[in-house]
Amino acid sequence: MTAIAIPTPGGPEALVPETRPVPAPRPGEILVKVAAAGVNRPDVMQRKGLYPPPPGAPDIPGLEIAGEVVGVGEGVTRWKPGDKVCALVSGGGYAEYCLAEEGSALPVPAGLSLAEAAALPETFFTVWTNVFDLAGLKPGESFLVHGGTSGIGTTAIQLARAFGAKVFATAGSAEKCAVCRDLGADLAIDYKTQDFVAELKQATGGKGVNVILDMVGGSYIARNYEAAAPQGRIVQIAFMEGSKVQIDYMRLMLKRLSHMGSTLRSRPGAEKARIAAALVEKVWPLIEAGTVKPVMDRSFPLVEAAAAHARMESSAHVGKIVLTVG
Ligand SMILES: NC(=O)c1ccc[n+]([C@@H]2O[C@H](COP(=O)([O-])OP(=O)(O)OC[C@H]3O[C@@H](n4cnc5c(N)ncnc54)[C@H](OP(=O)(O)O)[C@@H]3O)[C@@H](O)[C@H]2O)c1
């Protein structure tokens, strides 16, 4: 099969098509003939050599796929050859065939193409587990996501809105802010021209924000503490502006804040299966009703993965970039 390898870490050109053997499913795994694979910022980090695959994961990048089941390992009961699935995988998505754990695969929601379905797992698993499981966002609370037009941001805005929160987002241009509002944000803040702490203070009548999902880190850590409401919960899912900062923790203590973090890829299969089950029960019906949808930026053929990464790194994209196979 054709797969995209990273022989030497580097720029987008480090992504090189190679011929690899089709993997064989082990017990509890399914083999999927990939129709499309989502591109995510962690793939960019992996390509640069900054996010190595966890032990046992394939060296081929790609954390989410959609396609047809063509083989099942011993003990698999939920899926059979011919089923159309999308799946969260621990690597190997940039390929014509990919293995997935039975519990990390979900049915393709009715009405979605396989390219759209491939854009779901990484961001929907991440947003669900961080915003709802970890931070416990409740209806009527306020919610802020930084990077509102990212894959994560477009998903977070829609889900927070669908579950009854007041939604705020930051983004890097007036056009991106308009997209955030179209997706359901009550207020979108252009962080290049506006101070999000001051804007949120005004928008919440001085109360602050209950839950913050942050991928920026760096200087945002102290500013998130300022923007948070008393007993606010802040979840860190990345540090695009850096993870080493000097900080005055006084606000954390005085406001009784919780600052948490998590990463998805290295979690045990059973935990991913539990998140998948919650998504199928609580979120798939919203997708099938058209209330929530993956926001699609552009698709590229698999062998043009380097161009897909260049687009992601330009930050010109809005929503999800996918690779298509065949
Ligand atoms: N921990 C986990 O489990 C997990 C899982 C998946 C993804 N992630 C992380 O989540 C982040 C988003 O992933 P993705 O795949 O959705 O990537 P993406 O679409 O490339 O999003 C990155 C976004 O960051 C925004 N951004 C950059 N600097 C910013 C700043 N100073 N303030 C506000 N926004 C800023 C960019 O938009 P602007 O043009 O608006 O700046 C862009 O929309 C990545 O950092 C990724 O590593 C974490």
Q: Going by CA atoms, what residue is nearest to atom 2 of ligand 1?
A: 263
Q: Going by CA atoms, what residue is nearest to atom 22 of ligand 1?
A: 150
pLDDT in tens, 58-115: 999 999 999 999 999 999 999 999 999 999 999 999 999 999 999 999 999 999 999 9
pLDDT in tens, 19-36: 999 999 999 999 999 999
Decide: 241 in ligand 1 pocket, CB within 6 A.
yes
Decide: 149 in ligand 1 pocket, CB within 6 A.
yes
What pLDDT does 300 receive?
A: 98
Identify which of 214, 4, 1, 19 has the alpha carbon closest to the alpha carbon of residue 97.
1
Decide: 122 in ligand 1 pocket, CB within 6 A.
yes
> Per DSSP, what are the bridge partners of residue 211?
143, 233
Atom of ligand 1 nearest to the CA of 315: 39
pLDDT in tens, 187-200: 999 999 999 999 99
Is 90 exceeded by the pLDDT of residue 266?
A: no
Q: Going by CA atoms, what residue is nearest to atom 13 of ligand 1?
A: 41
Q: Going by CA atoms, what residue is nearest to atom 44 of ligand 1?
A: 41
Is 90 exceeded by the pLDDT of residue 326?
A: no
Helix and strand totals (H; E) in the chain: 11, 15
Output the pTM of the full model.
0.97
pLDDT in tens, 112-171: 999 999 999 999 999 999 999 999 999 999 999 999 999 999 999 999 999 999 999 999
Decide: 59 in ligand 1 pocket, CB within 6 A.
no
Phi and psi dihedrals of 192, rounded to 5? -80, -25
- Quote the ligand 1 centre to 247 CA distance (angstroms): 22
Decide: 83 in ligand 1 pocket, CB within 6 A.
no
Atom of ligand 1 nearest to the CA of 264: 3
Decide: 263 in ligand 1 pocket, CB within 6 A.
yes
- Quote the ligand 1 centre to 14 CA distance (angstroms): 21
Mean pLDDT of 33-41: 98
What pLDDT does 132 receive?
A: 98
Nearest 10 degrees: Cα torsion 88, 90, 93, 98:
-90
Decide: 28 in ligand 1 pocket, CB within 6 A.
no
> What's the mean per-residue pLDDT of the chain?
97
Mean pLDDT of 253-261: 98
Decide: 154 in ligand 1 pocket, CB within 6 A.
no
- Quote the ligand 1 centre to 21 CA distance (angstroms): 33
Angle between the 174-183 and 151-162 helix axes, to the nearest 10 degrees?
Answer: 40
Angle in degrees, CA 132, 138, 142, rounded to 5: 100
Decide: 238 in ligand 1 pocket, CB within 6 A.
yes
Tokens matching residue 203: 């928008």
Residue appearing with tokens 């990390």: 104
